[in-house]
């Protein structure tokens, strides 16, 4: 911690190596790093006291690193490492640190630093603090990745610790963090902030948004006695205060046995706290409120929630650091000042990754429902529905069936009463809960008619779009969205899949009541007709059958490193048959990919190598004809379950009626449930037609010098792209860079199921007490219990699965279907009863539990786990 009344020299710049903090603002990150730039900016805020000091610039760092032996060669080795290769990271990082530590500070640089120190006196004490250029940024704080040294006394010691700060850019944790954040080591440089020490009475941190709930209206303060090092290191428990609307609304005062204070002669030491002070709060409520107001002033200046370090000296607060809170999920923008409650679209669509700007706008052109954007994701504002007397309960019922966590989160907001008012007499409208009265009878011909209509429409748009170019192409696509919406929201189409879902719920409830059987519909949905998504997975088994007889082809595919392999494949013995099988598969399913609702995502037809791990696994793990055998087996199990249920029902009182009703529901379920996957298949098929045409137009824009790279169109919204094509105006490259950087930041964020306009992220809870000890709770979506090896897979193209494995992942969309033929069970963090993973798991007869929060973090790859898909939980055994 540092003192504002230090006597350190005013602005001085010595050879580009030293800059006084008063010269610095946030525009100079490249020269003084994130921490230095923020401290300089803080010093410009009226009423904010920042300890004086200076920065040893990144130019000094660059100068010294150029003289360190083998520095560049070691950086090359470091840049090529996997972030999980701890041993290699440790070894190379240590070599770099040793090289820096063994190289003296050049005389002219040492003189510049020493002259700045001399103005405060030889015996003054300083804080010497790392300030990297990739630190305290809006998208990544890099907090705690480099070193800080407190109470450094004397010029020689300051120079030594400046060198230690440089070396701390290459600690194991800092290197690993950059690798995970995809930050280039060569673009990151280290400045050093040197400030005067003080002896604070108390220190701590302040968050201008609640770090747990993300609520922007709540300020959280933590405080300890003495230096804040005790809090950062976890040596002591801190007092905690919660401030809302200018008042302390909650506090917890810790017992303070120890404090960290400056030691005579340099460094710090632990010191026992007098017994009469141990239970006293480090701050009074009045001081906490004053500190919170200071935090709001800093937040307003920087324009985003802040993580602020402070110290209290003689009753006055000194701010020693402020960085953006990078873990908060953004809030949708509104201008009405009212409270809003939003539900995530991605959790319903099984795609919680961020979407490209073009993808966001195309999706919103697809759906008639208004949506809000935040963090590269889409949300629906459900506030009017929750305030409606007739729509609220219906909506909660539907939400609860699909994802109980969403319902619980919404109920929490409703019960609190601060954002959603009690239902009024006005009804803004909302979804209704489908019931038996809306069902239609089983009609296979209707399904065939709907599928045929969709195929004919796709063929027409694929044919007609070729005649359109330039602005006319964009106009044609806008007009064709009307046809896409007509197909997606066709009344008969909706009746088909809502009847299937209602039949599934009817069977679940009535078989439980009449026969005491849970999840009866799960087996009944195996191997249903017209499920294009499950057929896609089985068809890849057929591709494996076509390739398996040709060992040269298998060897060739194992060595593939890019997506151009199909051109060379016919030259391999047996390659023509393999090529034709793959090409036929891509013609049928090449419009699919992970995150397929985003038109900007690469499709399988564009990245066919993504399918090779699954194909090669199928060749190794399955016998010829496995696709047909699995489908036939599932269909037989469904028929057997149907007969079993009807026989048992017939033996009950009023059994004939019950059996007849149940038979009608089973017919509806098996006739219609497969079609549920088809509208989305038609949509992504149309997206690929649009995408190919737009990329062709993008190539023309590149040739005309309007666009730098054809893929830059995905960083534009559709209307912006429309304007560019119409006007020929050169696209702003800085805009593209900014959006790509924002997208990279969005990838580090986890979207909540429910979000409020206060920024509060609500995840919901299952609130069950019928679970085994330490079980991970989720939603049971496909019956059965399986024990096996957990394979935690976040990218389908990297899946290395064997029969008997249990897939654990964040979410699955239809592109994951090919791996379902290999696994024995499924666990996901996101999902509901009728989302993709649940539907396909039931069709393949796989036990599945979805909505297991933190599953990919809590379950380690290779552990043995037991999945109970009947009761909805997962147990970790090893």
Active-site residue numbers? Answer: 836
What is the phi/psi pair of residue 209, to 5°? Answer: -140, 145
Helix 626-650 × helix 836-844 angle, to 10°: 90
What is the phi/psi pair of residue 602, to 5°? Answer: -65, 130
Write down how long the chain is.
Answer: 878
**Are 1 and 268 spatial neighbours (Cβ–Cβ below 8 Å)?**
no
3-class SS string, 395-447: HHHHHHHHCHHHHHHHHHHHHHCCCCCCCCCCCCCCCCCCCHHHCCCCCHHHH
**Are 368 and 359 spatial neighbours (Cβ–Cβ below 8 Å)?**
no
d(CA 406, CA 408) in angstroms, rounded, equals: 5
**Are 451 and 674 spatial neighbours (Cβ–Cβ below 8 Å)?**
no
Tell me the CA distances in angstroms from 291 to 205, 287, 442, one per residue in order.
10, 6, 67
Nearest to 438 by CA among 505, 502, 353: 502
Under the phi-then-psi rule, with left for phi > 0, alpha for psi from -120 to 50, and beta for the rest, what region is 837? alpha
3-class SS string, 263-327: CCCCCEEEEECCHHHCCCCCCCHHHHHHHHHHHHHHHHHHCCCEEEEEEEECCEEEEEEEEECCC
Nearest to 846 by CA among 784, 779, 800: 784
**Are 7 and 16 spatial neighbours (Cβ–Cβ below 8 Å)?**
no
Tell me the CA distances in angstroms from 557 to 399, 413, 572, one per residue in order.
44, 53, 10
d(CA 687, CA 681) in angstroms, rounded, equals: 10
Burial of 82 (0-12, 13-18, 19+ CB in 10 A): exposed
3-class DSSP state of 189: coil
What is the phi/psi pair of residue 133, to 5°? Answer: -70, -25
Four-residue CA torsion sign, 633, 639, 643, 649? positive
- The total of other beta-carbon atoms located within 10 Å of residue 451's CB is 18
CA 825, distance to chain mean position in Å, is 24
In the 8-state DSSP scheme, what is residue 595?
A: T
> Which helix H or strand E contains 787, and what residues bound it?
strand 785-792
- The total of other beta-carbon atoms located within 10 Å of residue 537's CB is 25
- The total of other beta-carbon atoms located within 10 Å of residue 378's CB is 26
d(CA 878, CA 873) in angstroms, rounded, equals: 16
**Are 868 and 875 spatial neighbours (Cβ–Cβ below 8 Å)?**
yes
Nearest to 38 by CA among 124, 137, 184: 137
CA 116, distance to chain mean position in Å, is 45
3-class DSSP state of 252: strand
d(CA 685, CA 425) in angstroms, rounded, equals: 44
Q: How many helices (H) and strands (E) does the chain have?
A: 30, 26
**Are 226 and 202 spatial neighbours (Cβ–Cβ below 8 Å)?**
yes
Rounded to the nearest 5 degrees, what angle is found at the Cα of 465, between the Cα atoms of 459 and 469?
Answer: 170
d(CA 675, CA 497) in angstroms, rounded, equals: 7
Q: Give the largest Cα separation in the chain, rounded.
A: 99
């Amino acid at each position: 911690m540092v003192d504002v009344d230090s006597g350190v020299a005013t602005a001085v710049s010595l050879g580009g190596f030293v800059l006084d903090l008063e010269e610095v603002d946030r525009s100079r990150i490249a020269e003084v790093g994130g921490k230095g730039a923020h401290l300089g900016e803080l010093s410009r805020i009226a009423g904010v006291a920042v300890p004086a000091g200076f920065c040893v610039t990144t130019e000094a760092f660059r100068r010294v690193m150029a003289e360190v032996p083998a520095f560049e060669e070691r950086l090359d080795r470091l840049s090529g490492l996997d972030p999980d290769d701890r041993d290699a990271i440790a070894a190379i990082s240590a070599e770099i640190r040793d090289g820096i530590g063994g190289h003296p500070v050049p005389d002219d640089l040492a003189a510049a630093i020493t002259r700045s120190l001399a103005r405060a006196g030889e015996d003054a004490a300083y804080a010497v603090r790392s300030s990297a250029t990739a630190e305290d940024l809006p998208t990544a704080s890099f907090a705690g990745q480099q070193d800080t040294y407190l109470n450094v006394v004397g010029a020689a010691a300051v120079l030594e610790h400046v060198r230690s700060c440089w070396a701390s850019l290459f600690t194991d944790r800092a290197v690993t963090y950059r690798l995970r954040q995809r930050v280039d080591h060569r673009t990151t440089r280290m400045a050093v902030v040197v400030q005067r020490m003080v002896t604070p009475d108390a220190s701590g941190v302040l968050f201008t948004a609640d770090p747990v709930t993300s609520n922007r209206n709540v300020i959280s303060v933590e405080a300890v006695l003495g230096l804040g090092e005790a809090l950062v290191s976890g040596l002591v428990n801190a007092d905690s205060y919660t401030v809302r609307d200018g008042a302390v609304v909650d506090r917890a005062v810790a017992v303070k046995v120890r404090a960290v204070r400056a030691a005579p002669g340099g460094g710090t030491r632990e010191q026992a706290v007098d017994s009469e002070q141990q239970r006293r709060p480090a701050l009074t409520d009045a001081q906490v409120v004053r500190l919170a107001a200071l935090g709001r002033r800093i937040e307003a200046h920087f324009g985003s929630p802040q993580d602020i370090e402070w110290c209290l000296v003689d009753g006055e607060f000194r701010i020693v650091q402020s960085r953006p809170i990078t873990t908060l999920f953004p809030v949708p923008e509104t201008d009405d000042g009212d409270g809003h409650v939003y539900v995530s679209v991605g959790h319903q669509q099984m795609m919680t990754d961020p979407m490209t700007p073009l993808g966001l706008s195309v999706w919103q052109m697809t759906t008639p429902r208004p949506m809000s954007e935040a963090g590269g994701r889409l949300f629906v504002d459900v506030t009017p529905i929750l305030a409606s007397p007739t729509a609220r309960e219906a909506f909660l019922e539907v939400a609860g069936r699909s994802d109980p966590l969403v319902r619980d989160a919404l109920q929490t907001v409703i019960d609190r009463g601060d954002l959603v008012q009690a239902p009024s007499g006005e009804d803004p409208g909302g979804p209704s809960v489908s019931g038996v009265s809306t069902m239609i009878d089983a009609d296979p011909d209707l399904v065939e008619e709907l599928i045929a209509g969709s195929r004919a429409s796709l063929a027409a748009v694929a044919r007609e779009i070729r005649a359109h170019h330039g602005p006319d192409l964009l106009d044609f696509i806008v007009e064709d969205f009307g046809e896409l919406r007509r197909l997606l929201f066709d009344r008969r189409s909706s009746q088909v899949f809502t009847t299937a879902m209602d039949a599934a719920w009817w069977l679940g409830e009535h078989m439980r009541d009449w026969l005491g059987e849970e999840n009866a519909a799960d087996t009944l949905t195996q191997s249903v007709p017209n499920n294009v998504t499950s057929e896609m997975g089985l068809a890849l088994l057929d591709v494996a059958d076509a390739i398996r007889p040709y060992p040269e082809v298998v060897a060739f595919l194992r060595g593939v490193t890019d997506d151009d392999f199909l051109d060379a494949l016919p030259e391999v013995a047996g390659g023509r048959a393999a090529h034709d099988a793959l090409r036929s598969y891509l013609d049928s399913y090449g419009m699919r990919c992970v995150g397929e609702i985003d038109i900007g995502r690469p499709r399988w037809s564009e990245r066919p190598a993504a399918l090779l791990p699954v194909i090669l696994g199928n060749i190794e793990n399955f016998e010829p004809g496995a696709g047909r055998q699995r489908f036939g087996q599932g269909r037989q199990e469904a028929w057997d379950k149907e007969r079993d249920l009807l026989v048992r029902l017939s033996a009950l009182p009023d059994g004939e009626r019950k059996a007849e009703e149940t038979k009608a529901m089973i017919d509806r379920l098996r006739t219609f449930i497969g079609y549920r996957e088809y509208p989305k298949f038609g949509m992504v098929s149309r997206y690929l037609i649009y995408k190919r045409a737009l990329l062709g137009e993008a190539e023309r824009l590149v040739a005309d010098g309007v666009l730098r790279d054809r893929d830059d169109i995905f960083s534009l919204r559709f209307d912006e792209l429309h304007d560019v094509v119409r006007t020929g105006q050169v696209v702003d490259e800085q805009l593209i860079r900014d959006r790509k950087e924002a997208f990279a930041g969005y990838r580090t964020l986890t979207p909540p199921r429910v979000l409020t306009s206060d920024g509060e992220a609500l995840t919901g809870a299952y609130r069950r007490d019928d679970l085994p000890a330490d079980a991970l709770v989720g939603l049971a979506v496909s019956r059965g219990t399986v024990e096996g090896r957990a394979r935690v897979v976040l990218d389908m193209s990297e899946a290395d699965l064997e029969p008997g494995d249990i897939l654990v992942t964040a979410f699955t969309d239809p592109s994951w279907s090919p791996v379902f033929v290999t696994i024995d069970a499924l666990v996901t963090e996101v999902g509901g009863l009728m989302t993709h993973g649940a539907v396909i798991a039931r069709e393949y007869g796989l036990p599945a539990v979805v909505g297991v929060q933190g599953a990919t973090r809590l379950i380690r790859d290779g552990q043995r786990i037991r999945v109970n898909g009947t009761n909805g939980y997962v147990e970790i055994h090893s």
